Amino acid sequence: MDTYVRILCGALISAILLLSLPENGKTFGALLTMGTCVMVLLSAIHFLEPILDFIRQLRQTAGLPDDYLRLLVKVLAVGLSSEIAASVCNLSGAPTLAKTVELVGAFLIVSFTVPLYAAVLELIQKLVGSV
Amino acid sequence: MEVDLIFKIAAVGIIVSILNQVLSRSGRDEQATMTSLAGVIVVLMILAQKIAELFTMVKTLFEF
């Protein structure tokens, strides 16, 4: 809760500072926003730790293979980081760059999940073969 | 959360803007541009370290 209040205060301070920057300080406005985003994420990323621990615990209880869970977490990380980078690019007035970053993230996610598709295909082949 | 970084960036931005105005009004446009560029580079250098720290943290947390 303490971290949350600090994050809120930091965001508000940043917003006020953004307003106080002169008109021609557009570049610094974008840099200030980027800095605030980074600081907020650095403080807030610890909130994810209990969720990831719970997922690991769930995997152990269910006896699922470790590879699939690692893949899932990797996909989550790629999605998160590409979303951050894309929103900062968008804010800096480069929507094309943002779209490219999102596209690269999507490519990476698809390339990560190829083994899953292969496993599903193998399963279908086995099922069809057994009929 | 370190609020220092936010204040640092805002301070550099305000100082550079003031310098830019002063230099532009006195007819030194080239120097004004160079000052702006220097300010942006300084802030980017500070920010790059933090961005690297963030991505390292994401990497360790998600076991990349």
Alpha helix (H) residue ranges in A21-65: 26-44, 48-62
What's this model's pTM, rounded to 2 decimal places? 0.76
Mutate to test the interface with B, among A28, A56, A68, A89 (most CBs of B within 10 A): A28
Assess contact for A7 and B1: CB atoms under 8 A: yes
pLDDT digits (tens, 9 = 90+) for B42-57: 988 988 888 888 888 8
Contacts of B12 (CB under 8 A, 6+ apart): A28, B39, B42, B43
Please, how many CA atoms are within 13 Å of residue A48, restricted to the half-sphere of its CB?
Answer: 16
The answer to whether B3 contacts A7, with C-beta atoms less than 8 Å apart, is: no
Give the chain A residue whose CA is nearest to the CA of B48: A35
Judge whether residue A26 has pLDDT over 80: no
Q: How many CB pairs below 8 Å do chains A and B form together?
A: 105
Chain A: closest CA distance from residue B19 (Å)? 12
Determine the pLDDT at residue A3: 81
CB neighbour class for A5 (10 Å; exposed up to 12, middle 13-18, buried from 19): exposed
Give the chain B residue whose CA is nearest to the CA of A48: B61
Mutate to test the interface with B, among A3, A9, A23, A32 (most CBs of B within 10 A): A32
Which pLDDT band holds residue A24 (cuts at 50, 70, 90)?
low
Contacts of A107 (CB under 8 A, 6+ apart): none
Q: Residue A28 has what DSSP assignment?
A: H
Of B10, B40, B57, the CB nearest to A27: B40
Assess contact for B43 and B9: CB atoms under 8 A: yes
Assess contact for A35 and B44: CB atoms under 8 A: no
Assess contact for A40 and B51: CB atoms under 8 A: no
ipTM of this complex: 0.82
pLDDT digits (tens, 9 = 90+) for A93-124: 889 999 999 999 999 999 988 888 888 899 89
Cα–Cα distance between A113 and A71 in angstroms, integer?
7
- CB-based contact, A112 to chain B, within 8 Å: no
Chain A: closest CA distance from residue B31 (Å)? 16
